Amino acid sequence: MKILVTGGAGYIGSHICVELLQAGHDVVVIDDFSNSQPEVLEYIHEITGKNVQFYEFNILDEAKTEKVFQENQLDAIIHCAAFKAVGESVSKPIEYYTNNLMTTLIVTKMMRDYHVNNIVFSSSATVYGDPKVVPLTEDCPLGETTNPYGTSKAMMERVLTDVQHAYPQMSVTLLRYFNPIGAHASGLIGENPKGIPNNLMPYVMKVATGELSCLGVFGDDYDTPDGTGVRDYIHVVDLAKGHVAAIEKYSQPGVHICNLGTGKGYSVLDIVKAFEKVNGVKVNYEIKARRPGDIATCYADPTRAKEELGWVAEKTLEDMCRDTWNFAKKHQKSLALFFFVIK
């Protein structure tokens, strides 16, 4: 298949591109590098021996987006392009709603106009809000979302569901995934956001390398074993493989909903301690006040993914920590060499 990956140079999108190429698909990418780096495209080629067809712009540019649909006979879309930080969304709701909703509307409009009938949407467990029970199944009611990021994802799900009902020949898959961390085993691609990280693992990584001095742990008074927030952390490579399974197996018309998680919950301090133990490094941290929009506990029941997609998360928390550190070390060396050369 020829598959468009929006946000395909980003953290999750780049890993999806690798898995799609290795599965024999042709890949088209739209990305504006707002939270990614151009060299990621070179790394994708280095890993797979194949190139993606790349377009650099924001999907909010409808004319340029339409040109991509005109120039390519697309079979399916994997829609990853979105702003994605919970904490930041609380302070920038206008930017989050504008970007996340409008890009989805433009993509679905192009799908309708150019007869592309298969889309996999990168949704989020945040649509469940603050869950009353865990683990979360796909049948759990959508909750009162606790931040604009989660609300935007829930609204994007509703847009896609309504579009499918209006155009019943479409296949819409909503992948609700939990907390992706880790990096590709090659160390070439991983999560390396611009500026101060908003997510846990890249912050841990930058503290461990000395780029940042201390990790802020937001809240130690939650109703959890150690008081810090508990999440279902999933290796990004496992997550990417889940997208490939979904694009191949959920091709029949309808709305398909599937959680992608491990079914295990780990606290923030579990992550810190595991990272230190696996990699033999120290991660300085300090406890801070709770962060707006956060909840105590969230982890998945991944049964449906196993039964319908034949997908099971295979990598361990130790793998996630080890691969993240491998990525950090490799890119720290590259950065040091760069500064040495230009000096």
Q: Which has the closest alpha carbon to 12: 255, 184, 224, 196?
A: 184
Question: Could you tell me which residues come within 8 angstroms of residue 342 by beta carbon, excluding any fewer than 6 positions away?
Answer: none
Q: Which residues are catalytic?
A: 149
Task: Read off the amino acid at residue 134.
Answer: V
Cα distance between residue 265 and residue 172, in whole Å: 28
What is the C-alpha separation between 329 and 134, in angstroms, rounded? 36
b/e 197-210 (16+ beta carbons within 10 angstroms → b): bbbbbbbbbbbbee
In three-state form (DSSP H/G/I as H, E/B as E, the rest C), the secondary structure along 158-195 is HHHHHHHHHCCCCEEEEEEECEEECECCCCCCECCCCC
Supply 160's token pair. 């896609």
- First-to-final CA distance of the chain: 46
Query: H-helix or E-strand containing 108?
Result: helix 93-114
Using alpha carbons, select from 72, 146, 137 the residue that is nearest to residue 304.
137
Distance of alpha carbon 328 from alpha carbon 340, whole angstroms: 18
